[in-house]
């Protein structure tokens, strides 16, 4: 099959890796050969793909990337830093879901609905942005195209799925423990998440902003190719299993009415407008779960500012916030014939 590719999923047994596997099948990505890669402890498991049960292999040596065209990596920063440059040396393009290369000046940071053309600049590695950044930029970009955004104030309500399959299992277990009158046990999160919420548990900087909040700031500026946009965020972990929510306040250079914003968003790729003002019905994480689109609604004038607009969104963190975005990048590479077009003599370390 001349138009199909040898693909490897690095971190295949994790929540995002499994979702990538399902998407490659459901979207009929042109796979000629598929390698499922994970850590030693996951080796020997099998995962279903196109009617077969494929074995999971441990990544032990460079040889495993021989003849691989595309690596979809979702195994954490340290793993990506170790193996992504090696995979590139062996001739693969790596789409990396970790934070390892996102802010590297020579690595495109891509949301296909926003800056898909940036894939053409890859030197072997393309970075998938943080989940909250992806969901926000899909919704804000089409409005920014119509009327430049000067400032973004974001508050996120992030589900357990953002911390992986073990965090989702922990939330379920804690809910059972509390309902049975027991003390909830926490191993993945620093505090009980069931019937509770807390500011995002990533490290804090000297200004009191956590790593997750700064990802939204820095990554959005890079994706928009605009260092002047003022962005601030407060990220909160909430007791939702899957799908993140965000309250976004936008300040434009000139007024943009809610009616104009709705008209723009109805036509924008990757978005579904969800609003029923009579029923007070707007996007909810339970309805975003398993969906490809970012659900956007409750679009209203900011009564405190003539150039301000408020909106609410929900999106599946594992799907569009991670796996789907990576697969869409891979589809763009295929469509543009860029999967094997590496810049000669360039490496990203």
125 domain residue, yes or no: no
Does residue 52 sit in the same domain as residue 77? Answer: yes
At 219-258, the pLDDT tens digits run 999 999 999 999 999 999 999 999 999 999 999 999 999 9
196 domain residue, yes or no: yes
Q: What is the pLDDT of residue 344?
A: 37
Does residue 301 sit in the same domain as residue 171? Answer: yes
Does residue 169 sit in the same domain as residue 296? Answer: yes
313 domain residue, yes or no: yes
Annotation says 314 is catalytic? no
Give the chain's domain count: 2
Does residue 246 sit in the same domain as residue 275? Answer: yes
Query: Residue 330, exposed/middle/buried by CB under 10 A (0-12, 13-18, 19+)?
Result: buried
At 271-329, the pLDDT tens digits run 999 999 999 999 999 999 999 999 999 999 999 999 999 999 999 999 999 999 999 99
Give the three-class secondary structure for 157.
strand
CATH for 229: 3.30.360.10
Does residue 309 sit in the same domain as residue 182? Answer: yes
Confidence band for 164, pLDDT divided at 50, 70 and 90: confident
Q: What percent of the chain has pLDDT over 70?
A: 97
Q: What is the pLDDT of residue 323?
A: 97
- The tokens describing 247, both together, are 């309250």
Does residue 256 sit in the same domain as residue 142? Answer: yes
Tell me the CA distances in angstroms from 32 to 67, 79, 90, 192, 329, one per residue in order.
12, 25, 18, 44, 18
94 domain residue, yes or no: yes
At 9-59, the pLDDT tens digits run 999 999 999 999 999 999 999 999 999 999 888 888 999 999 999 999 999
Buried b (16+ CB within 10 A) or exposed e, 209-243: bbebbbbbbbbbbbbbeeeebebebbbebbbbbbb
Q: What would the mean pLDDT of 60-85 be, rounded to a whole number?
A: 95
162 domain residue, yes or no: yes
Residue 343 has pLDDT above 50, yes or no: no
Does residue 168 sit in the same domain as residue 215? Answer: yes
Q: What is the pLDDT of residue 208?
A: 97
Tell me which H or E stretch contains 247: strand 244-252
Annotation says 131 is catalytic? yes
Task: Give the range of the structural domain holding residue 223, as residue numbers without chain letter.
Answer: 132-317
- The tokens describing 103, both together, are 């802010």
Q: What is the pLDDT of residue 339?
A: 85
Does residue 27 sit in the same domain as residue 139? Answer: no
Does residue 272 sit in the same domain as residue 208? Answer: yes
Residue 79 has pLDDT above 50, yes or no: yes
Does residue 305 sit in the same domain as residue 331? Answer: no
120 domain residue, yes or no: no
341 domain residue, yes or no: no
> Which residue from 165, 156, 280, 157 is spatially nearest to 220, judged by alpha carbons?
156
CATH for 87: 3.40.50.720
Q: Which of 122, 235, 244, 314 is catalytic?
A: 244
- The tokens describing 311, both together, are 């909106």
Does residue 81 sit in the same domain as residue 61? Answer: yes
Does residue 86 sit in the same domain as residue 189? Answer: no
Q: Which of 131, 144, 235, 314 is catalytic?
A: 131
Q: What is the pLDDT of residue 143?
A: 98
Residue 347 has pLDDT above 60, yes or no: no
349 domain residue, yes or no: no
């Amino acid at each position: 099959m001349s138009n199909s590719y040898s693909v490897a999923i690095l971190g295949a047994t994790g929540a995002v890796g499994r979702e990538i596997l399902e998407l490659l099948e459901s979207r009929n990505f042109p796979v000629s050969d598929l390698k499922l890669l994970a850590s030693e402890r996951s080796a020997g498991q099998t995962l279903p793909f196109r009617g077969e049960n494929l074995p999971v292999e441990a990544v032990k040596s460079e040889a495993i990337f021989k003849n691989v065209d595309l690596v979809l990596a979702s195994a954490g920063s340290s793993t990506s830093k170790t193996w992504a440059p090696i995979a590139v040396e062996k001739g693969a393009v790596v789409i990396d879901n970790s934070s390892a290369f996102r802010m590297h000046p020579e690595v495109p940071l891509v949301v296909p609905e926003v800056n898909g053309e940036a894939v053409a600049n890859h030197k072997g590695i393309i970075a998938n942005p943080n989940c909250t950044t992806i969901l926000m930029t899909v919704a804000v970009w089409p409005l920014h195209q119509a009327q430049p955004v000067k400032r973004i104030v974001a508050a996120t309500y992030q589900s357990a799925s953002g911390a992986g399959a073990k965090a989702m299992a922990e939330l379920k277990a804690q809910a059972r423990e509390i309902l049975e009158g027991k003390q909830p046990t926490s191993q993945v999160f620093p505090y009980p998440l069931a019937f509770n919420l807390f500011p995002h548990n990533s490290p804090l900087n000297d200004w009191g902003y956590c790593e997750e909040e700064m990802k939204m700031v820095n990554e959005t500026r890079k994706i928009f190719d605009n260092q002047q946009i003022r962005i601030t965020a407060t990220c909160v972990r909430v007791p939702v299993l899957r799908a993140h929510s965000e309250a976004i306040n936008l300040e434009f250079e000139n007024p943009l009415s809610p009616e104009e914003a709705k008209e723009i968003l109805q036509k924008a790729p990757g978005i579904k407008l969800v609003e029923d003002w009579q029923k007070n019905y707007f996007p909810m994480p339970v309805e975003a779960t398993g969906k490809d689109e970012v659900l956007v609604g409750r679009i209203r004038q900011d009564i405190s500012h003539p150039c301000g607009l408020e909106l609410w969104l929900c999106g599946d963190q594992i799907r569009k916030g991670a796996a789907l975005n990576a697969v869409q990048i891979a589809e763009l590479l295929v469509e543009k014939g860029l999967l094997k077009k590496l810049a000669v003599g360039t490496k990203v370390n």
